[in-house]
Chain A
Amino acid sequence: MPANTKFALKMGVATRVAFGDALLELARRDDRIVVCDADISKSTMTHKFHQEFPDRFFSCGIAEANMVAIGAGLAAAGKIAFVSSFSCFVLNKGFEQLRVTVAYPELKHFIVVGTHSGISIGEDGPSQMSIEDMALTCALPGFRVLAPADEVAMRALVKEAAYHGNPVFLRAGRPKVPIVYENGGEFSIGGSNTLIDGSDVTLMACGLMVAEAIRAQELLEKDGISARVIDLYSVKPLDRETIARAAEETGALVVAEEHLVDSGLGVRVAQVVSETAPAAMEFVGLTGYAESGPGGGLLDKYGLRAGNIAAAARRAVERKRVG
């Protein structure tokens, strides 16, 4: 079955919207769920929860460091705490609190949700763009890091995160994104989804880059290159087995992420590949701070499109052939 019929990639809602909806649904069934937000609940989409459960919503003001530790206190005393803000604020300003009050005491039932991740937030510019968040959270022992590609994945992963035995970072984006999992999908922390099988090269991605990887596969198919596409939504822990198999079977890999290329998903995958089945690898991601502009235009300008992934795949395949 041709990929372009398998993946219509119809436009869906933003992952932050899916987060807000899934959170509300979960909260209706479990009164342990509480939310802390830092004056941007209308953007992180926790305002719906606030309206329905005012007693379980804690407005923290613009004070993210305090908010993280308040959430940790709630979780330590038996609640399931969702702590949300823009990725760049809650993680950068709250990092030390995530380290000392969450990661270090091995707290569970603590979920930090960073919305407006990546450069696709657009016009607000680099001070609001989170491009280091996966580096920061992957650096915290015990943390789980999840970067869902679409609304279906986000809904499933909100539930996984809530009841997991480790703290979790859920990475959400601002713009509407195409639906990858139109027919549903299975998601688990530490899992992955092989969306398209292929034998010449493997395209791995997380977040909105998964849809770009699917489109890249279509471009490569026209050149006669058979590309496998894997959604690595679980950035930490990685699905080592699937990555190793892809490296072994295709011998050429591309990792694409809306994040700094030298400290995100790509380097983590490279570690697994070097430990299991060394292969030619190419990386698609950001090398520095971006600028203001429309989200789509930024993805074009900063090289986070299907064409960039396809070009990287051709390089990887060439390197494999040269040996």
Chain B
Amino acid sequence: MPHKKSLEELQALAKGIRRNIVKMIGAAGSGHPGGSLSAVEILVTLYYDVMRHDPQNPSWPDRDRFILSKGHACPVLYATLAELGYTPKDELMRLRKLGSIYQGHPDKRFLPVLEASTGSLGQGLSLGIGMALAARLDGKDYRTYVLLGDGEIQEGQVWEAAMFGAFHKVDNVCAIVDYNKIQLDGFVKDIMDLEPLVPKWQGFGWHVIEVDGHDIPALQRAFAEAAATKGKPTVLIAHTVKGKGVSFMENNPKFHGVAPTPEEVEIALKELA
């Protein structure tokens, strides 16, 4: 796995990944920038600091697993995997093009390094718990991380999985809710409010950590606390800003699923310089 990075290095990586997200979605002409930009620090912290993995050995059986349950945010995952050297960087600009390994939603058939094909919301937590059960049966200490969207957890299956995870004491799985407060049709509170969210997860038997999802040291502490929590699974409620880092995308529901124009890409890249 990559050597540990300093905070400054991690922040620089985050900025570079944001630039690639904007560029690749701009080049594709479609995609989901808002929820990709909100999750950048979560992925950078996981892949560069928390998770045990090896870009030279992607199928290492003891690797930690990451599932992007909110599959529409795949640009952040693609940009991170490319930065790590798992996948070619130059192909990022072929996002969503015919035959591209970077499909519109994560597709294992095109990108075998992925742990899961996702895109239909609500399924990743169940999958991750299944992998965590296998680890436990095999006496292995790898952990499984599942990134959920906030709108995504309106899906009933997420709560079936939540009930299951606590009942079976699956403490080697960690869910992260990218709580950017916006979904396709508008603000989450206006579409189907999730609040009170912390007591909901607690009521389902999970250890809950609220965290600023853009504060890398806070995320590092939260993931360490999750790993140290035994007997129950942990969920991070990561408060984030949709479209984080690009002024006109921040907190703007429009950029849930609309690509920036070439002019907007220019402005965004200046802001992310």
Interface residue ranges, A against B (CB under 8 Å): 34, 55-56, 58, 60-61, 63, 65-66, 68-79, 81, 96-97, 99-101, 104-106
Contacts and interface: CB of A to CB of B under 8 A. Distances in A.
A75 B132 CA distance: 11
Interface in B125-179: 126-135, 137-138, 156-157, 160-161, 163-164, 167-168
Interface stretch (B4-12, B24-32, B110-118, B223-231): B110-118
Contact of A61 (B61, B127, B164): B164
Interface residues of B, number: 32
Contact of B134 (A63, A73, A97): A73
A65 B161 CA distance: 9
Interface string B63-84: 0010000000000000000000
A56 B136 CA distance: 10
A70 B164 contact: yes
Interface in B39-74: 61, 65
A34 B137 contact: yes
A101 B106 CA distance: 12
Interface centre among B65, B116, B135 (most CB of A within 10 A): B116
A79 B134 contact: yes
Is the contact region of chain B dominated by helix, strand, or loop, or is it mixed?
Answer: helix
B202 interface: no
Given A58-B133, A71-B130, A66 B160 contact: yes
B123 interface: yes
Is the contact region of chain A dominated by helix, strand, or loop, or is it mixed?
Answer: helix
A70 B138 contact: no
A17 B164 CA distance: 27
A73 B137 contact: no
A100 B117 contact: yes
B157 A69 contact: yes
A77 B134 contact: yes
Contact of A105 (B109, B157, B168): B109
10 contacts: A61-B163, A69-B123, A69-B127, A69-B157, A73-B129, A74-B130, A81-B130, A100-B118, A104-B107, A104-B109
